[in-house]
Amino acid sequence: MITPAQKLSQIFSYLPEAEQKTLLDFAEFLQSRAPQVKTVPAEPLSIPRPETESVVAAIKRLTQTYPMIERHTMLNETSDLMMQHLLRGRAAMEIVDELEALFEKRFQEFVNRSL
């Protein structure tokens, strides 16, 4: 199923340059009218990793560290890592390392989309 953002991106890509500008101008106009648009930091917050940390605590910390990443887009991957820890007995530290890498990867994807 295609998301509204994907559909809008698809429409935008098919438009000639002049119409793309018009669509962008209109989107910015709508944004300016929106009540209290939540601002999200462009850079990760500096929340240090404790020496020992549970997988759940790591997910919470990383979610706070990377508020620009939409949580629902990572649900499958974080759930899979959590299950590997709980059901397969993988070490928490190993899973947290993978979570760190996953969040960093998603942040880099966010930065690349923003350019």
User: What digits encode the pLDDT tens for the residues 55-79?
Assistant: 999 999 999 999 999 888 899 999 9
Choose among 74, 75, 82: nearest CA to 57: 82
Mean pLDDT in order along the chain per 10 residues (115 residues): 87 91 86 69 91 95 93 91 95 97 94 81
| pLDDT for res 86 | 93
Which tokens is 40 given? Answer: 């999200």
| pLDDT for res 28 | 82
This prediction has a pTM of 0.65
| pLDDT for res 95 | 97
| pLDDT for res 36 | 62
| pLDDT for res 38 | 60
Residue 59, class by beta-carbon neighbours within 10 Å (0-12 exposed, 13-18 middle, 19+ buried)? buried
| pLDDT for res 49 | 96
